[in-house]
Structure 1
Amino acid sequence: MERRTRHETGFQYLFTLGIVVGVAIGLITTLFQINPFISDELLLSQNTDEDDSYELQKSLQMISENQIQPSSNLPGTLLKRAEEVLARMISAEVKILCLVMTNSTRKAAHHVKLTWGRHCNKLIFISDGNDESLPSADVGKEWHREGSWAKTNGALKYVWRKYREEFDWIIKTNDKNYVFVENLQEMLLPYTPDEPIFFGFRMNPILPQGYMSENAGLVMSKEVVMRLVNNAFDGKDKKCPQWNDNKHPDDIKMGICLAAVNAVAGDSRDWEGRNRFFPMDVATHAFVQPTKYKWFWTYTFWPAFIGMEGCADTPVSFHYIKPAVMYAIEYLAFTVRPFVVNHLEMNTPAPTPASANLNQTTPAVAGK
């Protein structure tokens, strides 16, 4: 019964947003038909302490009753407000802990914190020392001795012990990833954290249900993390590779452990079958050639499309992202708003001063 309630809640958010935005667009269109030149006064409440959906509905009611002054910023501002409301609603419903693996010799972690990391509900860095500026945690001497698989074990045990009440899902990445956290939250809405399910870029060799590429990031429900920590790690399940196991890469080791605790590999593709998780950088996947990266075409679990046709418009993660590119993606994703694509602002010309001579053909010179 609880699972059904959470599923219904997720779909209810999307359904509600559709109604709200639909009404907003209708009202905006009508308003522009009446008066296409709108002033800068927009009576959308900025008080985030009050209920978001109530504030949005109140603003729409004010528009419908002609209680606001015309404003050229109305369409874009109202729709942006709707997006922000939905993002906060989903963020409260789908709490993501971003677990970022790094070390003291790499400085990319600081750029993760300033870009996509700020979108996480909780951001934890795992390093080879405690860095209060991030902050990061050192999960013990074992992984220094045994390697990255021991580091993964220690990291998951650490966040389960210290933060288990603060997340629904974990995405395990490293400081070379860029993650669209809001897209991940939206993707996870139909699922619940008590389901033993995990997501990522699915590879197919060795294991019956495959495993998730280490590069693209691994998303695990709270139930999966609990099972790994309590039932698999530290020799609790003999099928799960131990720290000093060198037979397989870490992502295959994790796949073996996940299978041992009966976790289910989820399908993270969008409804058109396009990938959301990517083990390489944006350019490689958007402009990839069939003859390059043969391992990709050989080991991918699902049939892969070539180039942008295979990339979902709601991607979750990319890998091999340099710090400068993190800022570029952050700007393009969260600041740039292409005309028509994201909002309905009119291309209103710049205001002409009342004293200007409309017949003047040469530019005015200051002081004359």
Structure 2
Amino acid sequence: MRINLSTVFFVSGLCIGFLSIQYFVYSDPSIADPAVLSLGNSSGVQYDRGVPRHIHSDEDGSVAANLSQKVRLLCWIMTGPKNLESRTKHIRATWAKRCNKILYMSSVETEFPTVGLNVTEGRAQLYWKTIRAFQYIYQHHRNDYDWVFKADDDTFVVIENLCYTLSKQDPEKPVYFGRRFRPFVHQGYMSGGAGYVLSKEAVRRFIEGFETGKCTHFSIIEDMALGKCMETMGVEPGDSRDVKGRQTFHPYPPDKYLIKKPPRKRPWFLSYDYYKPREVSIAYP
């Protein structure tokens, strides 16, 4: 039987590559051990036991560490009992570690741990969850934050980028940031899809709004209703775009932003954007 030399070379390459990877991995215990708890730097970020860590020994983490000290960010995740294993635990194992404080808000208290808000599950209860979550945070943690970031349990966030944006802002001013939508509220509102972040003063005014009756649970549309309360209480929507005018909060899956077949009808969600998209003209050969 004739042996194909190209097949021999291909199989040999696979074997050599596999053995090389095994050698480098197991020669460094810190890479092979999935139970390492600390990053091994001054950031103070802790890892869950059993969650492998990624090693970037040549990276300078001083900027991120300084931002973490400068911007006190409390994050809270809106979740539910059915999503703890399929969604929320992955947030806990990844980006939530970068928040100065993290809280998981649910309808019931669990050992996850979640904070029980004593509401029923369902889309119609989302604004009640949001109201009670902010009330809980203000009651128990008002001295623990400068900014409060709210996200759903299907959101991924680069916390360092968020903190960099917030580091240029004053948490004592009534302002909040997110993906600004245009309809329904005169000054616009922040979409809940990618999360939104309230300054310390914005949180105080939100709580005051419900204590005084200026804000009410008038709609089940959570992000729009919160935006209306922000407007009523004099909280301004901030501009979260970067220095080049690009959006930084993305409330839809990545494929929604990709052009599949030109020409196509303008996506409906772009009509919600407060800021007009910057078009690019391409000349086809």
Q: Which category describes the TM-score, using the shorter chain as reference length?
A: 0.7 to 0.9
Aligned pair partner of 1:260 in 232, 249, 255: 232
Q: Distance in 2 between matches of 1:98 and 1:293?
A: 34
Q: Which runs of 4+ in 1 moved over 2 A?
A: 46-49, 140-146, 282-295
The residue type paired with residue 172 of structure 1 is K
Distance in structure 2 (CA, Å) of the matches to 1:200 and 1:288: 27
Separation (CA, whole Å) in 1 of partners of 2:265 and 2:91: 29
Q: Cα gap change, 1:292/1:183 in structure 2, threshold over 3 Å: closer, same or farther?
A: farther
2:127 maps to 149
Offset of residue 298 of structure 1 = 1.1
1:252-307 deviation per Cα after TM superposition (whole angstroms, max 9, x unaligned): 10111001110010000011110000111233335577846732121110012469
Mapped partners of 1:48, 1:215: distance in 2: 33
Residue in 1 that maps onto 2:183: 205
After TM superposition, list the pairs within 5 Å mapping 1:90-105 onto structure 2.
90-105=67-82
Q: Secondary structure at the match of 2:81?
A: coil
In structure 1, the residue corresponding to 2:104 is in which secondary structure?
strand
Q: In the alignment, residue 100 of structure 1 is paired with which amino acid?
A: I
CA–CA distance in structure 1, aligned partners of residues 154 and 264 of structure 2: 25
Q: Is the 8 A contact 1:95 1:166 kept in 2?
A: yes
One-letter amino acid of the structure 2 residue matched with residue 241 of structure 1: T
Summarize deviations over 1:45-64 as a string: whole Å, max 9, x none: x7749xxxxxxxxxxxxxxx
TM-score for the superposition, normalised by structure 2: 0.72
Structure 2 CA distance for partners of 1:153 and 1:303, relative to 1, 3 Å: same
Which TM-score applies when normalising by structure 1?
A: 0.57
Q: Which residue of 2 aligns with 1:241?
A: 216
Q: In the superposition, relative to structure 1, how do residues 48 and 274 fare at CA in structure 2: closer, same or farther (>3 Å)?
A: closer
Q: Does 1:110 align with 2:82?
A: no
- Do the aligned partners of residues 293 and 250 (structure 1) sit closer, same or farther apart at CA in structure 2, a change above 3 Å counting? farther
CA distance in 1, matches of 2:117, 2:276: 38
Could you tell me which of 178, 183, 189 is aligned with 2:161?
A: 183
CA positional deviation for 1:214: 1.2
List alignment gaps of at least 5 residues for structure 1. 1-45, 50-75, 308-368
Q: Secondary structure at the match of 1:91?
A: helix
**Deviations 1:82-108, CA, capped at 9 Å, x for gaps:** xx1111111101011111000001131
Q: Distance in 1 between matches of 2:239 and 2:266?
A: 23
Residue 105 of structure 2 is aligned to residue 126 of structure 1: yes
CA-CA distance at 1:241 after TM superposition: 2.8
Equivalents in 2 of 1:166, 1:173: separation in Å? Answer: 18
CA distance in 1, matches of 2:250, 2:98: 19
**Does 2:87 align with 1:87?**
no
Give the number of equivalent residue pairs.
226
Deviation at 1:249, TM superposition (A): 1.6
The answer to which of 95-104 and 145-154 deviates more is: 145-154
Distance 1:47 1:297, change over 3 A: closer
- For the 8 Å contact 1:196–1:264, the answer to whether it is kept is yes
| SS state at 1:182 partner | helix
* Equivalent residue number for residue 194 of structure 1: 172
1:1-368 residue pairs with structure 2 within 5 A? 48=42, 80-81=59-60, 84-106=61-83, 107=85, 108-133=87-112, 135-141=113-119, 147-229=125-207, 231-234=208-211, 236-238=212-214, 240-242=215-217, 245-246=218-219, 249-287=221-259, 291=264, 294-305=267-278
State the superposition RMSD in angstroms.
2.6
Matched AA of 2:216: P
Instruction: Give per-residue Cα distances to partners, 1:114-138, cap 9 Å, x unaligned.
Output: 01111111111001221222x2101
Alignment CA distance shift 1:215-1:291 (3 Å): farther
Q: Identity over the aligned pairs, expressed in percent?
A: 31
Alpha-carbon distance, 1:182 to partner: 0.4
Q: Output the CA distance in 2 between the equivalents of 1:101 and 1:241.
A: 20
Q: In the TM superposition, what is the alpha-carbon distance from 1:216 to its structure 2 partner?
A: 1.5
**Which structure 2 segments of 5+ residues have no match?**
1-39, 44-55, 281-285
